[in-house]
Chain A
Amino acid sequence: MENQKCKGMQDLLPDDMLKFRHIEDAFRTCCLEWGYQEVRTPTLEYLHLFTATGTLTPSMLGKVYSFLDWNGWSGERVVLRPDGTIPVARLYINNLICSEAAKGGGEERKELNNSLFTAKPSRLFYVTNIFAFEGTGRENRERWQCGAEFLGGAKFTADVEIILLAREVIRKLGFADIELQLSHAGLIKALIKELKLSSGEEAKVVSRVLDGDWQALMEAKSINPQLDKFLPQLLNLKGKSSSFLQNVKALSQQASSNLKSSLEDFINIATLLDSLSCSYEIDITAMRNFEYYTGVCFQLLADGEKIGGGGRYDDLVPLMSGRDIPACGFALYVDPIMKLLPSEREEGDKSGILVKGKNLSPEVITACFTLAQSLRNAGHTAELGFTTQKESSYRWIILVSGGETPFVLTDCEQKQQRDVASIAEILSILGEYR
């Protein structure tokens, strides 16, 4: 019987895993250096966790892997995690806010309760897989993400922090030429409000814009002539510095206070990025499916491929917990990054040591195991081999025969052979080459 892999699922082979771990290591190192702590959430969550906040679109929720659990007689469905951020927000609400309150007792506790609304910020990160059905079966239905969330980070400095952290990870991975695109969900939502549409019409424009159809905004703009002064510029031009936003601000004097404060927030972020010499492109129309973002949102591209994105989502934690905790975060998409990274192992690369028994006598086998252990203790990678096998990929081969000359050491790169009398001598020779 043929063992078929499930459609849309992927195997990660040794070469893939080298890349995967490389990405993960770079990500973890950067996050830890910035003071983020690692968390992991379960693969199964209740469906209502994702429906309750209204922050995922029906079309996205229509693609979740949902089913009844073994105790699902109440009709409550569970899902394979379709998103990385919402479970982390749940983890934070369930564990980290509560534990802050639980630590104190008596009066101290009361005081802490009051301070819950300015709960201690949590910087969390995770490496996780997310699941979403994809109709053709050609794309992955299981995707890996490296994500970081700054819960309780209220100011524009938090936005800049996560942008710089994301960029740093990508740079550490060796991508020199990355594009950073900025947009602002709060600004877009305020713009749509300026159209002063009926709630039904407004919902239609929002869902068209979320699907990337910006024409919807241009079509509707005639309703408010004030918009004509800055909307085309905002949608069509791509600013490279905060000056662009200052110009838009100058043109939008008549706009609502909501729009102005979003613009002001955006200017603060852009100005700080300018002074930290972080280059970017302001492209309001670059974002899609930014439904749960409320403030700045961004995308990272390498070779024209989207490799990450994030933004501010101030409404999510309040909707889930009733507590007014702002947040922002990002995720890097491991699968496209893996495709862009060069292979870690070159063709014909030789590595590791093969410890080979000349025969299967108990003395030789014991000697092989003893030698391999000594090599590993000294920090080498040592494989055992007792049968004839392809030996071309090893850097060293040690033939163990016991007797007079117990070891024959072959240097596969220099193509040299020599007899060696002891393990100590082997270690000293190998040490020289390290």
Chain B
Amino acid sequence: MAYQAGSLKLALPKGRLLPSTAELLDEVDLGFSDYSDKTRQYRLKSTKFPYLSAKMFQEKDIPIQVAIGNYDLGICGLDWIEELLVRYPASALVKISNLNYGEGSVYVVASNQAEISSLDESLAKLNSWRIVSEYPNLAEVFALNRRMRKFSVFPVWGAAEVYPPEDAELAILWGKNENDLEAQGLVPLMRLIPANAFLIANRESLENKDLSQILGCLSLKFGAKQESLIYDLPEGQKVPVLDNSIQFAPKAQKQEKKIKLALPDGHQQPPTAEFLKKAGLKFQGYSEGILNRRPSTDLDYLSIKVIRPQDMPLQVANGNFDLAITGRDWLLDHLYRFPSSPVKKLLDLGFGMVKIVAAVSQDMPLANIDELRQLVQSGKLSPLRVASEYINIADNYLRDNRINPYKLIPTFGASEAFLPEDANLLIDNAQTGETLKQHNLKIIGVLFESSACLIGNKGSLDSSDKKQNIDLLIQMVRKALS
């Protein structure tokens, strides 16, 4: 991507690292006084260096944005930097310095309800591992380095802590410290990486552009020690000796009568709670603005966990849950990726209605997807950069509309802020379209409408042990619909 002459761009984190980063920028006087929790504005201009601008991102997006050269510099946690680098070691990303703030680390944890208290011991005992994590790349490298003989990594959008012990043996997640994890009923087995804030740079920017003034300012705050921050993942471990009957077949599903239900957290929680109340289903810890990740109920055949709606189709597909309430958007995104997945939509629940739309900047001289195709074909917008949380929906939409070539930029929230400078097309959900308008975007196509739905695992629906109770639940839900 062409840079404006002399302009420099900085990617700044939202969320966990924001207050300390704002403090740092203040102290070194970069002129970003608007950078705060309260700002509604994602784009910032430096009042001190006219050539310097900044944009706020989810922390997870920052290493990618810097690596692909959309931003010259970035500040984010070492955890997300390593998550990118372990999978893509050739990325154009340079770690400049530890900034000495940002608490917590990435830990490998098990549940205190499981009999896993030491990794070495368990590695010799267990044949097959399920690891759940927001850091799937770190999880895979961890499993390979520990020479796990068979493992599955489940990438999740969040709530990794609630999966063990039933739905995963291990979770790899961020925690403040060991005590904090123990308080959540987890056993920390290993500390992988500290989540310190780091200054990173795009390699080409560092080689070719004059970043000296900005680096000079920030260097006042560079960490004194440059010690290796990544804890050695032990290599050359002795291969655990197992008996020779290694089972390559997938773990047999335990036959139990309990129905496992997943409920959504986040903004889907209040309407879901209200709906369930209407259906006569009462849960303690899911309604009153208090979130218990394992709500309880009077129905003894039901066990419930609260997870991210994005993660539900995959979790229902692999049998961790029999039923879940999620959005049709996430179900479709899953089915586009895994067409023969054993997940089925059982009922539309009617609430949480959104449209999945394609949007571009209002400054773009086009009104529909056909005009966009012509623009891409003419070579004026090639490759088209597409930002979306729905990678598979976006991929499918672009293929169906014969848009070529394009590049998908997976995002982790606030995707509308990527346009116009860091992406040309947005595939996102919209309730009224107001947010899009505020960001100077316009809708050029509606892909489909999505609302909350009840989804189920086909195997569970056919299981003689579970069928009766599932039917009972569906009846109750149906009643609330009428």
Contacts and interface: CB of A to CB of B under 8 A. Distances in A.
B231 interface: no
Interface in B380-394: 382
A68 B155 CA distance: 12
A90 to B, nearest CB: 10
Contacts of B152: 74-76
A342 interface: no
Contacts of A322: 244-246
A119 to B, nearest CB: 15
A35 interface: no
Given A54-B149, A135-B90, A70 B338 contact: yes
B318 A319 contact: no
B254 interface: no
A137 interface: yes
B144 A54 contact: no
A318 to B, nearest CB: 7
Contact of A74 (B143, B145, B236, B318): B318
A70 B340 contact: yes
Contact of B144 (A52, A62, A320): A62
Interface stretch (A107-115, A200-208, A305-313, A360-368): A200-208
Contacts of A52: 149-150, 246, 248
Interface in A1-25: 1
A254 interface: no
A48 interface: yes
Contact of A71 (B154, B244, B245, B340): B340
A1 B376 CA distance: 11
Contacts of B237: 203
B426 to A, nearest CB: 24
B147 interface: yes
Interface in A29-83: 46, 48, 51-54, 58-59, 61-62, 66, 68, 70-77
Interface in B354-382: 379, 382
Given A203-B236, A204-B236, A322-B244, A48 B147 contact: no
B338 A62 contact: no
Nearest to A210: B236
Given A52-B246, A135-B90, A322-B245, A58 B151 contact: no
B59 to A, nearest CB: 24
A76 B129 CA distance: 11
A194 B163 CA distance: 45
Contact of B244 (A61, A207, A318): A318
B405 interface: yes
A315 to B, nearest CB: 10
- Classify the interface of chain B: helix, strand, loop or mixed: loop
Given A54-B239, A75-B130, A48 B340 contact: no
Contact of A319 (B244, B341, B379): B244
Nearest to A55: B239
A95 interface: no
Contact of B147 (A51, A77, A321): A51
Contacts of B130: 75
A199 interface: yes
Interface residues of A, number: 34
A70 B339 contact: yes
A164 B90 CA distance: 41
B250 A48 contact: no
A396 to B, nearest CB: 46
Contacts, number: 82
A75 B318 CA distance: 8
Most buried by A among B144, B237, B340: B144
Contacts of B145: 58
Interface string B234-263: 011111000011101010000000000000
A199 B238 contact: yes
Contact of B154 (A1, A53, A59, A75): A75
Nearest to B130: A75
A1 B382 contact: yes
Nearest to A76: B152
Interface in A301-349: 318-322
Contact of B149 (A51, A59, A68, A75): A51
B318 A73 contact: yes
A242 to B, nearest CB: 33
A73 B150 contact: no
Contacts of A320: 246
Contact of B338 (A71, A199, A203, A206): A71
Interface string B108-143: 000000000000000000000010000000001101
Interface centre among A62, A70, A74, A318 (most CB of B within 10 A): A74
Contacts of B238: 199, 203
A235 B405 CA distance: 56
A73 B147 contact: no
A321 B314 CA distance: 31
Nearest to B152: A75
Given A70-B338, A72-B338, A73-B314, A51 B150 contact: yes
B90 A137 contact: yes
Interface string B329-347: 0000010011111000000
B144 A48 contact: no
A68 B338 CA distance: 9
A204 to B, nearest CB: 6
Given A1-B405, A51-B148, A322-B245, A207 B338 contact: no
A179 to B, nearest CB: 30
Interface in A185-225: 199, 203-204, 206-207
Interface string B20-46: 000000000000000000000000000
Contacts of B147: 51, 54, 58
Nearest to B168: A75
A379 B298 CA distance: 86
Given A48-B150, A54-B149, A58-B144, A74 B244 contact: no
A51 B123 CA distance: 13
Contact of A48 (B239, B248, B339): B248
Contacts of A76: 152, 250
B144 A51 contact: yes
Contacts of A1: 379, 382, 405
Given A51-B147, A318-B244, A73 B141 contact: no
A206 B235 CA distance: 10
B317 interface: yes
Contact of B341 (A66, A71, A77, A137): A71
Contacts of A70: 337-340
Contacts of B339: 70
Contacts of B317: 73-74
B89 interface: yes
A72 B392 CA distance: 14
A320 B150 CA distance: 12
B246 A75 contact: no
Nearest to B339: A70
Nearest to B131: A75
A48 B90 contact: no
Contacts of B236: 203-204, 206-207
B453 interface: no
Contacts of B246: 52, 319-320, 322
Contacts of A135: 89-90
B244 to A, nearest CB: 3
23 contacts: A1-B382, A1-B405, A51-B143, A51-B144, A52-B149, A52-B246, A53-B149, A58-B235, A70-B337, A71-B338, A71-B341, A72-B338, A73-B317, A73-B318, A73-B341, A74-B152, A75-B153, A77-B140, A199-B238, A204-B236, A206-B236, A319-B244, A320-B246
Interface of A: 1, 46, 48, 51-54, 58-59, 61-62, 66, 68, 70-77, 135-137, 199, 203-204, 206-207, 318-322
Given A61-B144, A68-B337, A74-B250, 5 more contacts: A71-B338, A73-B317, A74-B152, A77-B153, A319-B246
Q: 7 tightest CB-CB pairs across the interface, nearest first?
A: A75-B152, A322-B244, A54-B239, A207-B236, A203-B236, A73-B317, A48-B150
